[in-house]
Structure 1
Amino acid sequence: MTWIKPSFLWMMYRCGWGAKDGQETVLAVEITREGFEWALRRACLSSYVRGVHADRATWQRQVKRAPARVQWDPERDLRLRPLTYRSLQLGLCGEAVRRYADEWTVGISDVTPLAHEIRALVRGGDLDSAARLLPQELPYPAADELLTNLRP
């Protein structure tokens, strides 16, 4: 399974600012909107949620067939502390992984130096300068039908 993490700070939490063993390189992967939405349309939640799924067995069948999975994790602040709202994480498997690698990816850039620079500023207490370096992230303008079955 390959995970798309659209939030820079959530990714920094996950990889420890590019310092965790085996996660020393941080790449920003740009994909097409069509690809991202293809995956969302075919995704299911990564865990069972009463009220969203008819029952656990139905969810288990869905998760086995789905080429994508969604989970919602707490967004992070500059000190990587959890915030009160969540960010979408999109897991890809099977056909979705092939499409991601062969069709959807339009750019890859190494943001490791940026991650290290922001981390140094945060450690030095200069949160304003660190915040100015963050990649601009806007709420994704997804049509309601894309997320209807993906909200816990």
Structure 2
Amino acid sequence: MELELVANVMELPFKTEFYKTLQMHWPTNGKVILHSSNINVTDDTIILYQAYNSSIAEYAVAHQTFSNCKDFSTNRMTWLKPNFCWMMYRSGWATKPNQERILAITMKKVHFNEILMKSVSTSKREIAANSEGKGNQSAVVDVRLQWDPDHDPFGGKLERRAIQIGIRGKALDIFLTQQILSICDITDFVREQSKNVESERLDFLCVPAECVYTIDDELLRNHIKLD
């Protein structure tokens, strides 16, 4: 099978599937977290995507951490994205400056949920920042949550919303030193599949086999306003 060859030759951390096959099973609207798990670990993991320049990416893969990388800034917010197509939209399929390398980062779902529970939505931060006496409070938020329009492989907006989580400060330190299980460079896979997008051959486009991320904790679901 072509899908098995893609996964085996490139040693990907996730299963792959045809985009058009997955598309039939994904919700078309609402706030939805699409994700895949690491096939080399257990099904209690979630893969998050980030895009970097070659210097940071090579260090991160070689050392399996971003800590002590001279080009990685711990003073700015780092954004985590579980949705592959949203990452492709954001990075232009690994073509935008300083986003030429795509990393798949594995962490446990329980830690991902802990980050979500600590999050403050961008809209709440904006309200706080514009409220008298609350500007300083909004400035110390370590976990920021955004629901943005999801995008198809060509970059077109969809009705469905995709999540991205920004972390900094203590949350970033914990993520870097305690929560990362593995870091894999999937840039070759991205560039190979981008050829199918460029030639408009979606029938051949393979992506991570993402499904809807389920959260049983009603308090957490309500906190992030998950549909």
Normalising to structure 1: TM-score of the pair?
0.86
Structure 1: state its 5+ residue gaps.
Answer: none
User: Which structure is larger by alpha-carbon Rg, 1 or 2?
Assistant: 2
SS in 2 for 1:71: strand
Alpha-carbon distance between aligned partners in 2 of 1:48 and 1:81, rounded to the nearest angstrom: 27
In structure 2, relative to structure 1, the CA distance for the partners of 1:55 and 1:4 (3 Å cut) is: closer
In structure 2, relative to structure 1, the CA distance for the partners of 1:55 and 1:113 (3 Å cut) is: closer
Q: Map 1:3-152 to 2 at 5 A.
A: 3-48=79-124, 57=131, 63-130=138-205, 133-142=206-215, 143-151=217-225
Large movers: runs of 4+ above 4 Å: 53-56, 58-62
User: Which residue identity lines up with residue 144 of structure 1 in the other structure?
Assistant: E
SS in 2 for 1:26: strand
Structure 2: state its 5+ residue gaps.
Answer: 1-76
In structure 2, relative to structure 1, the CA distance for the partners of 1:117 and 1:49 (3 Å cut) is: same
In structure 2, relative to structure 1, the CA distance for the partners of 1:144 and 1:59 (3 Å cut) is: farther
> 1:57-116 CA deviation, whole Å, 9 max, x = no partner?
397566434321100011111212111010110110111101111111101111111111
Alpha-carbon distance between aligned partners in 1 of 2:96 and 2:129, rounded to the nearest angstrom: 38
CA RMSD of aligned residues (A): 2.4
Alpha-carbon distance between aligned partners in 1 of 2:125 and 2:141, rounded to the nearest angstrom: 16
> What is the aligned-residue identity percentage?
31
Q: For this pair of structures, how many residues does the alignment match? A: 148
Alpha-carbon distance between aligned partners in 1 of 2:168 and 2:184, rounded to the nearest angstrom: 23
Normalising to structure 2: TM-score of the pair?
0.59
Shift of 1:145: 1.3
Alpha-carbon distance between aligned partners in 2 of 1:49 and 1:94, rounded to the nearest angstrom: 16
Which 10-residue stretch deviates more, 41-50 or 84-93? 41-50
